[in-house]
Amino acid sequence: MPVEYLDYATVDEQGWAADDADLFEKADAASLDSSAHGTLEVGRDEYVLDAAEAEGNDWPFHCRAGGCVNCVVIVTEGEIEMDVQRSLSDQEVDEENLRLTCVGTPASESIKLIYNAKHLDSLRDRVV
């Protein structure tokens, strides 16, 4: 399944908003480096973090077991389902659309996400 990604650091640097409906169109127009913006192919049973690494991406992680927030992303379109995780609140999952990529598999035909979301102000104190 195709997963289009964008680096949170780039969103921040450009002064873009994570909830901007045109965010990925802006990324297209900006001709960003493939480390900041691109598309991955992720198998239905494959963890998003593993797929990103297999394609040579250097995304943040720490525990690889749903126990920290280092690998967190904001899902802006589509769905990622997680195995058991102990780090995100119901509000962060249901309302802020945060997901952990080390325990997250694709659950929709296409997905757009912002990786590197550990730099969100709300998560800063919980990053390992």
> Which positions lie near ligand FES, rule CB under 6 A?
61-64, 66-68, 70-71, 87, 100, 102
- Contact present, 102 and 61 (Cβ < 8 Å): yes
Give the Cα separation of 128 and 126 in Å (integer): 6
36 or 88, CB closer to ligand FES? Answer: 88
41 or 83, CB closer to ligand FES? Answer: 83
11 or 48, CB closer to ligand FES? Answer: 48
Give the Cα separation of 33 and 58 in Å (integer): 13
Minimum distance, C-beta of residue 82 to ligand FES, in the bound complex (Å): 9
Give the Cα separation of 92 and 120 in Å (integer): 12
